[in-house]
Every structure is written in C-alpha cells, then in structure tokens.
Amino acid sequence: MRVEARFTPKDGQQYYTSHMIAHIDKEHMLPVGITCYDDKGQLQEQYGYKDLKVNVGLTENDFSKANKAYKF
C-alpha cells in the first residue's frame, strides 16, 4: 500500500519535507519504506526495510535499561 502526504508551510510552520511517500506492508500494516522530496521535487532521503520479521520472541528485558547485556 502507498500513502502520500504533501505539507504546505502555513502561518510560519515549517516542515522537514514537502512531499512524503510511505510504503505500508498490507499484511502487518507496518511502514516498510519512506521517500521524501523537497518543494522542488528533489529527493531528500529514501529508506526501506526488506525481510521484515515480526513477533520474534522479544521480552521486556530486551527493552530494559537494566539488561546487563547492554552494559549501561
């Protein structure tokens, strides 16, 4: 699935990009790619993910500052 957004500065509000295209994995409803263009249509950045794996068995400890494996 492809979702496009265009951002127009208004009332002094500035945006990082003026045109963004997001690619969404239909099965998992997760973003798998983003492309950003400036107001002249020039590519600013582009990134994507391949072979995305979900539900890989992570635990709360994997996200904890107390996890000794991270050596905080």
Tens of pLDDT, residue by residue over 14-63, are: 888 999 999 999 999 999 999 999 989 999 999 999 888 889 999 999 99
Contact (Cβ atoms closer than 8 angstroms) between residue 54 and residue 31: no
Overall domain count for the chain: 1
For the chain, the first-to-last Cα distance in angstroms comes to 39
pLDDT at 1: 95
Measured distance CA(28)–CA(49) in Å, rounded: 13
pLDDT at 3: 97
| Tokens coding 15 | 């945006």
Instruction: Return contacts of 29-38, CB within 8 angstroms, 24+ apart.
Output: 30/54
Domain range for residue 56? 2-70
